[in-house]
Amino acid sequence: MKFIFVTGGVVSSLGKGLTAAALGTLLENRGLKITLQKFDPYLNVDPGTMNPYQHGEVYVLDDGAETDLDLGHYERFTHVKLGRINNLTSGQVYQTVLDKERRGDYLGKTVQVIPHITDEIQHRIDAIADQTKCDVVITEIGGTTGDIEGLPFLEAIREFALRVGYNNAIFMHVTYVPFIKAAGELKTKPTQQSVAKLREIGITPHILVCRCEMPLGRELREKISIFCNVPYEAVIEETDVEHSIYELPLMLQRERVDELVCRLLHLDTPPADMSHWQEIIRKLLAPRHRVRIAVVGKYIELHDAYKSVYEAITHGGVANDCGVEIEKVEAEAIEKFGAEKMLKGLAGILVPGGFGERGIEGKIQAARYARENKVPYLGLCLGMQIATIEFARNVLKLDNAHSTEFNAATPHPVIVLLDEQKQITSKGGTMRLGRQPCQLSVGSQANRLYGAFVINERHRHRYEFNNEYRDAFEKAGFRFSGWSPDGKLAEMIEMPGHPFFLACQFHPEFQSKPDQPHPLFKGFIGAANAYTNQKTPR
């Protein structure tokens, strides 16, 4: 088994996760069985309790793990199945070590960062190797080289590589080569210093991936090679992708990264056939159709907050040969300026998941606008609860209908806490999480889109539709098209007579890939495209 460790230098937000994922794409297409894991140096046990400003989106896996959004990249770029084991935080490491200490596993010893914490980190790499039996494990270390909290991870991978040997483990360092406008030059010094920092710890990178805004050129590559002690062909240029993150595997292939990795690790494989990936890029760059849709959210200025949603929309576009322009609409702006002003002319409205009261009324207005004007609507998790509240208030005339999450004293609690949640007080990892089955009603739009009667989707919520209102909703034409197998939990709703008004209690965005667009996003963008064509007939 072979191991690739991906570290980052100079600054954060270099797209280290994307680089690791794109390398994964190439290795998978060389016929290798791979897996990816992410180590995060913070002390939270998982990112589930952090807000999007801290962390961006929380990505949910089949087994219910709430993980770093880089795992979303891993799943979108490859076909690996990830689970709880694929995301390790310092919090988890310390928790395990302290539990062991209390049990007496270290009896008689002083428990220390080295070797106890670092051993625990290495155990996790061993565990993933044992469990997956794959050819290559790619491990990304979060944070930036030089951070105090990242040191145990770097020490652990140094020891690990020494143990398995440099024919079996390599280090890839993603670094930044800034362009200084006043000097009109790209500067290599930060990269040199970040590599020096790594070497101080005992890690010499085998490959340097240099993020830069313009090509490095021969001279700079030579300079980086000499000063950083990395062979010339292992200095990789990674400029910003021009249009889409999905171009990255092709860019790295042109730079021969996968070839180099395979050579260093003595992996004898044929070149990657990326023709299907090239077709995806063609559809992304030169689509036959175009639509503009709105995503109505509360962390709209923060792209990372709804990352998987945006990606899944793009995949829905690929499935329809349709370029999608996403209008990010702040829910509070709808409260201020009205739905008509903010949403007019857009071909689809999507309300994603969310927590907390801010912006809720704006989202309700958006759902109303979509329903009344027959604009395609897709509601995800909170987006389904919003559509339900809107229908209760404006069609069933249940004044002040609400979710008890936002108004505990509402006279019409159409959305209430799940029964199983009532006794739960602690916040970490306690929602209804992960993959759950859902049964679709025969002949529903959901059933047609999925082409199946039973589906499995990922969840992350505490609230549900209140079944006491079911009859009233159904009599008024609201359709419940998906239920949990025990028939108790409404999972999908739709509005017959509307070209596309669909919402779900789960998060379909976590299971969409560019080469396997999710059926709901495919349907939504298809409907948005039809809506656009009907408004502007050719």
For residue 384, the minimal CB distance to ligand GLN (Å) is 8
With contact defined as beta carbons under 8 Å apart, do 9 and 145 qualify? yes
By the rule CB under 6 A, 73 interacts with ligand GLN:
no
- According to CB under 6 A, which one of 221, 363, 461, 522 is a site residue for ligand GLN? 461
- According to CB under 6 A, which one of 355, 374, 435, 513 is a site residue for ligand GLN? 355
Which residues fall within 8 angstroms of residue 423, CB to CB, at 6 or more apart? none
Structure tokens at 63: 């087994």
* Residue 195, φ and ψ in degrees, nearest 5: -70, -40
Closer CB to ligand GLN, residue 5 or residue 299? 299
Sheet-wide strand order for 207-212: 87-89, 34-40, 136-141, 2-8, 169-177, 207-212, 235-239
Q: What is d(CA 245, CA 18) in angstroms, rounded to the nearest whole number? A: 8
- Is-catalytic flag, 412? no
Structure tokens at 228: 């950083």
- Is-catalytic flag, 159? no
CB atoms within 10 A of CB 42: 18
Closer CB to ligand GLN, residue 309 or residue 525? 309
For residue 353, the minimal CB distance to ligand GLN (Å) is 3
- According to CB under 6 A, which one of 462, 467, 480, 515 is a site residue for ligand GLN? 462
- According to CB under 6 A, which one of 38, 116, 206, 460 is a site residue for ligand GLN? 460
Total site size for ligand GLN, rule CB under 6 A: 10
- According to CB under 6 A, which one of 405, 457, 494, 509 is a site residue for ligand GLN? 405
Closer CB to ligand GLN, residue 228 or residue 489? 489
Closer CB to ligand GLN, residue 154 or residue 386? 386
What does DSSP say about strands 169-177 and 136-141: parallel, antiparallel, or unpaired?
Answer: unpaired
Closer CB to ligand GLN, residue 170 or residue 389? 389
* Residue 346, φ and ψ in degrees, nearest 5: -90, 150
Structure tokens at 271: 């070149």
For residue 379, the minimal CB distance to ligand GLN (Å) is 10
* Residue 496, φ and ψ in degrees, nearest 5: -60, 150
By the rule CB under 6 A, 382 interacts with ligand GLN:
yes
By the rule CB under 6 A, 391 interacts with ligand GLN:
no
Question: What angle is formed at CA 183 by the lines to CA 182 and CA 188, rounded to 5 degrees?
Answer: 125
By the rule CB under 6 A, 463 interacts with ligand GLN:
yes
Distances (CA, A) of 5 to 62, 177, 248, 479, 534: 25, 21, 19, 50, 51
Q: What is d(CA 273, CA 444) in angstroms, rounded to the nearest whole number? A: 39
Closer CB to ligand GLN, residue 161 or residue 503? 503
Closer CB to ligand GLN, residue 77 or residue 463? 463
Instruction: Give the three-class secondary structure for 125.
Output: helix
By the rule CB under 6 A, 479 interacts with ligand GLN:
no
For residue 355, the minimal CB distance to ligand GLN (Å) is 4
For residue 303, the minimal CB distance to ligand GLN (Å) is 18
By the rule CB under 6 A, 140 interacts with ligand GLN:
no
> Which range binds ligand GLN by CB under 6 A, 97-105, 285-293, 305-313, 460-468?
460-468
Closer CB to ligand GLN, residue 306 or residue 450? 306
CA 409 and chain centroid, separation: 35
> Which range binds ligand GLN by CB under 6 A, 101-109, 174-182, 360-368, 459-467?
459-467
By the rule CB under 6 A, 363 interacts with ligand GLN:
no
By the rule CB under 6 A, 66 interacts with ligand GLN:
no
Instruction: Give the three-class secondary structure for 316.
Output: helix
- According to CB under 6 A, which one of 6, 61, 381, 401 is a site residue for ligand GLN? 381
Structure tokens at 113: 């960062």
Name the nearest CA neighbour of 57 among 45, 42, 47, 46: 47
For residue 382, the minimal CB distance to ligand GLN (Å) is 3
Q: Is 473 exposed, middle or buried (0-12, 13-18, 19+ CB in 10 A)?
A: buried
Structure tokens at 351: 């309300």
- Is-catalytic flag, 509? yes
By the rule CB under 6 A, 354 interacts with ligand GLN:
yes
For residue 461, the minimal CB distance to ligand GLN (Å) is 3
Closer CB to ligand GLN, residue 80 or residue 492? 492
With contact defined as beta carbons under 8 Å apart, do 89 and 149 qualify? no
Dihedral sign from CA coordinates of 79, 85, 88, 91: positive
Q: Is 106 exposed, middle or buried (0-12, 13-18, 19+ CB in 10 A)?
A: middle
Q: Where do we find the tokens 């999925």?
A: 450
Q: How far apart are the first and last CA of the chain?
A: 57
Q: What is d(CA 78, CA 334) in angstroms, rounded to the nearest whole number? A: 38
Comparing every residue's Cβ against ligand GLN, the nearest one is 353
Q: What is d(CA 287, CA 194) in angstroms, rounded to the nearest whole number? A: 41
> Which range binds ligand GLN by CB under 6 A, 213-221, 455-463, 482-490, 521-529?
455-463
Query: One of 210, 381, 438, 504 is an active-site residue; which one?
Result: 381
Closer CB to ligand GLN, residue 122 or residue 404? 404
For residue 385, the minimal CB distance to ligand GLN (Å) is 6
> Which range binds ligand GLN by CB under 6 A, 124-132, 236-244, 440-448, 461-469?
461-469
Instruction: Give the three-class secondary structure for 269.
Output: coil
Query: One of 238, 247, 405, 509 is an active-site residue; which one?
Result: 509
- According to CB under 6 A, which one of 83, 142, 348, 353 is a site residue for ligand GLN? 353
CA 355 and chain centroid, separation: 18
> Which range binds ligand GLN by CB under 6 A, 142-150, 350-358, 447-455, 521-529?
350-358
Task: Name the residues that contact ligand GLN, by CB under 6 A.
Answer: 353-355, 381-382, 405, 460-463
Which residues participate in catalysis according to the annotation?
381, 507, 509
